[in-house]
Structures are given as structure tokens and as C-alpha cells.
Structure 1
Amino acid sequence: MRALLLSMALLLTAALFPAHAQAALPGLTEGVQYRAIDGGQPYQALPPGMVEVAEVFAYTCPHCAHFAPTLDAWAKQLPPHAKLVLVPGVFGRDDDWARAFFAAQASKSLAVLHPRLFAAIHETGELPRNADRAQITAFAGKIPGVNAASFKAAMQNDAALLPKLKYAYEFSARSQVEGTPSLIVAGRYLILGNSYENLLANARAVVNALAPKKTAPAKAAAKPAAPRS
């Protein structure tokens, strides 16, 4: 099956990995809420102080399809210092489903097409899991709100897409992703959990632990004493 196992299975193997003292988070326990990623880096460059929550997903993964609406609602409640970033799983040098994600981004139709691709595979049966590039392109072109010509051109733009596919693949590899959906916070913490709710609760706990430190307000300088007469 092209879709990887659900990342909650990582909880069962977390005990096999040593602790990473340098990545320890106050109030949290490695192997329970997260697993530290040696040498991990975020998927995107964000402004200083911002924390990335990257979801590695696959359109063909039924768990990802079920998780998507919950994740979307959760992301809207994130604090100002955190941002959700979607990363398609790449299962081969030229994965057509991952290509469709990046083509949707490039044609400014991701918000419309992202949920429709999940539904087409897992609800309506309009697309098979092994759909090829032509089938995906034909389906997308019929969706209201999608510029069919722009999407088709983006799907065929190897010069733009192949580097993105390679970069997404490398991110998943260095983040030690073993299943979808997977959440990686700040590129350094692979989130663990035994349910969707637990996964999101642990992700939020890590996000909170990485919140920018608040600086204490400077004390006002003492006023000089008035001269005595």
C-alpha cells in the first residue's frame, strides 16, 4: 500500500530511541509526547520566533483523509507564533499525487482542490488510488474554482516540480517519518500519539513549550529625590 502506516504506531517503538538531552522540552517527556530528530530542520523558512507544524500526508492515505478536517480546525486555534505547513509524502522520484499538491499550490487552487482530492479517492470514488497524472488533471479541471489551464500547465512543469518533490522527500527522510499522517514541530520534534486527539494535544504542548520567552518589562528609573530647602 502506497500510504504509510499511521504515525501513532511510532509510540510503540519510541522506547528504542535514546533520549536527546539537547532537545529536551520543559514539562514534556521524550518518547511520550515527541521524539527528538537529530539534525532536524524545518520544511520552510519562517520569521524568527515562528514555529512550524509540518504535516506529512498522502492523498491515498485514509487516515489522512479522516484527519484533515480535524487538523484544519486545530490549526485555526494555534497561537500567533505557530503555523501549519502541509508536506505531501513522496513515494518515488515523481509521485503524481505529490505533483498534484504542488501544481495546486502553483495554480492557486489548493484551498479548493485539497479536500476534493481526498473526497474523490475515499468518498465518491471519482479517482482510484493509483490514478495517473492525466486522470488527476482531468478531474481537477472540472472542479469549480480551479483554473484548468493553469493547473494542467503546472502539472507538466518538470523544472518547477521536480525540485519540490525532491525537497519534500528529503524532509520526510531526515525527519524520520515512518507513517502518515505525521506531525513534525520546528523540524526537530516528531509528535507521538495513540489517537488523533492525543497527537494534536501533544503537538500543541510542544508548540507551547517553544513559545518565545517573554521579557520582563524594564523597571522605571527611580526619580531623583527633590532637593531639600
Structure 2
Amino acid sequence: MQRAAQAFLFSLVGLTVACNAAEPVVNKDYRVLERPQPTASGNKIEVLEFFYYGCPHCYDLQSALEPWVKKQPGDVEYKRVPTVFRDSWIPLTKTFYTLEALGALDKLHQDVFDAVHNKKLDLNDPKLMAKWAEQHGVDAKKFSDMYNSFTVESKSQQSVQKTKNYGITGTPSVVVAGKYLTSPSMTGNYQSFLAVLDQLVAKARQEGAGKKAG
């Protein structure tokens, strides 16, 4: 209930900020990647959220970001990318890709955040993670098998490489159209961040980022 009220408040304040937002300033509110990355969204504008389940700022952002994602038009494709700065981040990255492969990510994504930050569970332990997954409706053996699979290991290593390729230096960060990077730490707060995000999506749309396959 508290998170729902917080999300509603964020949406109201965010709308006000967006309506009055000034043009975002490059190298202040956002930066252009030195090496723009290819997108995999076809004729849509790709928006990538780089996050880590253990990051408190990523957790706090969710209640503001989820309503933003839901209101995006059909030419925007939003994806999450687990960020990996060090080996200790790999277990929760594997958890993300395991839940995704089992079709349980949309249902349990927020629950993983809650387990880590509210219940203080050590979900870096694969056995504990499998037990937690079973308590949330996922077969423990299927979870463990997928967690230890070549597919999940490969995707986790791809996350390591993406973190480097996109020049991610902190979480949460969001990249629009493979070249515009912004974050709450750059804009100063979550509401301004969402306003800048809107403007970067509009900028990418104006540049034709969503028409590549057309």
C-alpha cells in the first residue's frame, strides 16, 4: 500500500516536472556514449535500464519507473539489463536471467528487490534463492537447473560485457537508443530523471531511432 501511494505521488510530481522541464543539458543531465551501441529493438526506440538487485537506489527508483514504463507508446521498447561491476554481482544477475527463462520475471522482479532490501535475505546463495523461488511458485529443481545452465551463464557474461560496452559507472542508469545515457545521480532526483528520460526518447524519435526497420 505504501509503495502504491509512493508511485502515485511520483507520477503526479513527475507530470508537473515534465511539463515544466527545460531542455536537458548534455554532460550534466545526460551524456552521449563515446561508442554508441547497436540496438536490438527493430523499428522501436530501445530503452535499457541498467540495474542491480542489491542497489538501494535501483530499489527506490522502481516505484517511479514502473508507471513510466507502462505509459510508453508502442514505438518504445523497454528492457532491463543486470549490471555487473564485480564477481559478487553475478549470483543476482543469474537470478534475473533464471526467472526470465522460466517466465517468472514479470511476476517476481519486484519481489526479489523486496526480499533483498526489506527482508534482508542473502539471495546470493543459490540454495537459498531456489528455496525462495519455490516459496513464490517456482519449482526449486527447475530453478536450480536453469540457474546452473549454459544459457544463464552465457547471458550473465553478456551482462558483464554490456556493462563495459555501455560505459556504465553506476546504477541505476538508463540508455536510450544505444547512445544517450542518463541517471538520477546526473539529474539530481527521480522526477527530473523521468522528465529527462521523456525528452531523450522524444529526441531519439525525432532523429528516427524508431524507424530503422521501416
Q: Same fold (TM over 0.5)?
A: yes
Report the TM-score range of the alignment, normalised by the length of the smaller protein: 0.7 to 0.9
| Long gaps (5+) in structure 2 | 1-22, 209-214
In our comparison, the structure showing a higher alpha carbon Rg is: 1
TM-score (normalizing by structure 1): 0.73
Q: Which has the higher helix share?
A: 2
Matched, 1:196 2:187: no
| Long gaps (5+) in structure 1 | 1-26, 215-229
The one of 174, 177, 182 equivalent to 2:168 is 177
- Could you tell me how far 1:28 is from its partner in structure 2? 4.7
| Kept in 2: contact 1:109–1:147 (CA 8 A) | no
The one of 13, 26, 29 equivalent to 1:30 is 26
Q: Deviations over 1:86-131 (max 9, x none)?
A: 0011244571000000000001000122111111111123x136x3
Q: Structure 1 segments of 4 or more deviating over 3 A?
A: 91-94
Tell me the residue number matched to 1:103: 98
| Percent of residue pairs identical | 27
Q: Deviations over 1:152-204 (max 9, x none)?
A: 221111x1122211211111112111111111111111114111111111111
Q: Deviations over 1:135-159 (max 9, x none)?
A: 1121111113x343332221111x1
Partners of 2:165 and 2:200 in 1: how far apart?
A: 19
- Could you tell me how far 1:29 is from its partner in structure 2? 3.2
Partners of 1:193 and 1:47 in 2: how far apart?
A: 29
Tell me the residue number matched to 1:88: 82
Alpha carbon RMSD of aligned pairs, Å? 2.0
User: Counterparts in 2 of 1:23-172, with a 5 A limit?
Assistant: 28-42=24-38, 45-48=40-43, 50-92=44-86, 95-125=90-120, 127-128=121-122, 131-144=124-137, 146-157=138-149, 159-172=150-163
Q: Deviations over 1:12-39 (max 9, x none)?
A: xxxxxxxxxxxxxxx6531233100022
Partners of 1:98 and 1:187 in 2: how far apart?
A: 21
Tell me the residue number matched to 1:23: none
| Kept in 2: contact 1:75–1:83 (CA 8 A) | no
- State the aligned residue count: 182
| Kept in 2: contact 1:53–1:184 (CA 8 A) | yes
Partners of 1:80 and 1:114 in 2: how far apart?
A: 22
Larger displacement relative to structure 2 (91-100 or 116-125): 91-100
